[in-house]
Amino acid sequence: MNNDYDIIIIGSGAGGGTLARHLAPSGKRILILERGSWLPREPENWSASEVFIANRYTSKDTWRDKHGKEFQPGVHYFVGGATKLYGAALYRLRKEDFGVLKHHDGISPAWPLGYDDFEPYYSKAEQMYHVHGARGEDPTEPPCSAPYPHPAVSHEPRIQKLADDLKRAGYHPFHSPCGIMLNEANMPYSQCVRCEDCDGFPCLVQAKSDAEVLGVRPALEHSNVTLLTDSQVLKLVTDPTGKSVSEVLVDRGGKTETFRANIVVVSAGAANSARLLLMSANDKHPNGLANGSDQVGRNYMYHNSQAVLAISKEPNPTKYQKTLGLNDFYFGMKDFEFPMGNIQMVGKSQGPMYKGEKPIEAGLAPMFTLDFVAKHAVDFWLSTEDLPSPHNRVMINRDGQITLSYTPNNQEPKNRLYAKLKSMLNHLDMHEHLIPRNLYMKNEIDIGGVAHQSGTCRFGTDPATSVLDTNCKAHELDNLYVVDTSFFPSIGAVNPALTAMANALRVGDHLLERLK
């Protein structure tokens, strides 16, 4: 095997998988290194008990919190990365998110590039990932140069009633931007079957717009692209000057192999990308690769999120529930001047997900049975921005185990958003009784809920305060790039996946120019 390539991409998720597809037609020799395997297609893909109780597709990794206590992060190591089990809510950041925003607990910093720099790539990413939506419904929507490539996914009757009730109450619900390969006009030929086993599940029929199906597989149609699975990168080795990465050391089946490339792209996810750079410390980079600023691993963010269960007075037979969003309070409200965030529907909860849920049992029994909850639940996801802090960071021990030291901030807007949703319930024909839960059926999204992880290798113009330049190249190395959510200087309050995809296309254009 010839181990020399033009480009090595480490990781195959929203960043790496998208970048691989974009670069594939160039004819350059591209190697994708994925630590996981192909996610098996099997009936268990659509089993709530297997996915949520048995954690069939969750890595056995253990990380530590700031107190040294071990926890299991909700990470998924497969071709396609975290997108294999994501909800495929593909939102653009708001235009204002790219500038300085004053929050209750402090400042969300400006990005070194503006929304207009990303806009063309948002449109391209929406095309690549088959996003459904409707322009003009969301009052916070930024300017867009192109319509959505597919019509909005229709609301099922219960969610349509919710949308109508919200409109009648003076709010502005909109159709959520969904990445699914659904053809409602011709369902016999639709790849997506519009099922309830989508958000948090792998898609058995490969109809979710994930980075395996729409990134890696199309890339592999080109003979110049190679994918190696079960290949965990151990370390990046630099040349004697420390100015470029000369070798990539990879564990394959217990044996260490060495690969080389003119350009190396790290796309392992915010926590693991930071881990790899820290693990690659050497004499020229004693604090970790590209870490002269001491910023690698810092400014970790993952949203102040709550998945909230509302008990409807009438049954909710909805299958695909993730079709509605509300941004009326994204930047605050009349009596609260600070940004509060986004409300959207989350995947429909199912009975098996409640197993062992003491908070729900305590909050409902004996007034409701858990069966009643499953049949009458309307499920919301509330996201509020958490602010970058140098103290919220990824660190490693000598064995490479991750410590995620995180102290929550900006909690008041999160509480206000929850209280506002609760106060709206009379208009929504629901009990004034909300049961907080997280996606994995806990109280809130705790430190293990890393789906929206970002910010550990922020990009910027000043090498003293950032890890990457505006092309996501490491300031200190000539051929090292980081292309995943690590580059975020702030996180906004919407799902980060589309921004990661758009940025991969943007950096991809830069790399294509460089490789000419």
Q: Please state the rounded mean pLDDT for residues 46-67.
A: 93
Q: Please state the rounded mean pLDDT for residues 230-257.
A: 98
Q: What is the pLDDT of residues 485-500, one digit of tens each?
A: 999 999 999 999 999 9
Specify the pLDDT at position 404.
97
Confidence of residue 375 (pLDDT cuts 50, 70, 90): confident
Specify the pLDDT at position 427.
64
User: What whole-number distance in Å separates Cα of residue 42 and Cα of residue 203?
Assistant: 10
Specify the pLDDT at position 354.
64
Q: Please state the rounded mean pLDDT for residues 2-20.
A: 97
Report the share of the chain in percent with pLDDT over 70. Answer: 93
Tell me how many domains the chain contains.
1
CA distances from residue 130 to 115, 180, 207 in whole angstroms, order as listed: 21, 7, 10
The H or E element containing residue 361 is helix 358-364
User: What whole-number distance in Å separates Cα of residue 183 and Cα of residue 43?
Assistant: 23
Q: Please state the rounded mean pLDDT for residues 151-166.
A: 95
The H or E element containing residue 324 is strand 324-326
Confidence of residue 426 (pLDDT cuts 50, 70, 90): low
Confidence of residue 361 (pLDDT cuts 50, 70, 90): very low
Q: What is the pLDDT of residues 454-473, one digit of tens each?
A: 999 999 999 999 999 999 99
Confidence of residue 102 (pLDDT cuts 50, 70, 90): very high
User: What whole-number distance in Å separates Cα of residue 12 and Cα of residue 365?
Assistant: 44
CATH number at residue 20: 3.50.50.60
**Is residue 441 over pLDDT 50?**
no
Report the share of the chain in percent with pLDDT over 90. Answer: 84
Confidence of residue 191 (pLDDT cuts 50, 70, 90): very high
**Is residue 257 over pLDDT 80?**
yes
**Residue 435 contacts residue 302 (beta carbons within 8 Å):** no
Helix axes 115-128, 16-23, angle to 10 degrees: 80
Confidence of residue 157 (pLDDT cuts 50, 70, 90): very high
Residue 221's SS3 state is: coil
Range of the domain at 350: 4-514
**Is residue 451 over pLDDT 80?**
yes
For the chain, what is the mean pLDDT? Answer: 92
Least reliable range by pLDDT among 146-160, 249-263, 286-300, 418-432: 418-432
**Residue 379 contacts residue 196 (beta carbons within 8 Å):** no
Please give the structure tokens belonging to residue 492: 């906004």
Please give the structure tokens belonging to residue 369: 């049975």
| Dihedral of the alpha carbons of 10, 14, 17, 23, in degrees to the nearest 10 | -100
**Is residue 432 over pLDDT 70?**
no
User: What whole-number distance in Å separates Cα of residue 166 and Cα of residue 373?
Assistant: 22
**Residue 247 contacts residue 260 (beta carbons within 8 Å):** yes
Sequence-ordered list of residues with C-beta below 8 angstroms from that of 502, at least 6 positions apart, any chain: 92, 118, 121, 122, 124, 125
The dihedral of CA 422, 426, 429, 432: what is its sign? positive
User: What whole-number distance in Å separates Cα of residue 87 and Cα of residue 342?
Assistant: 15
Specify the pLDDT at position 358.
41
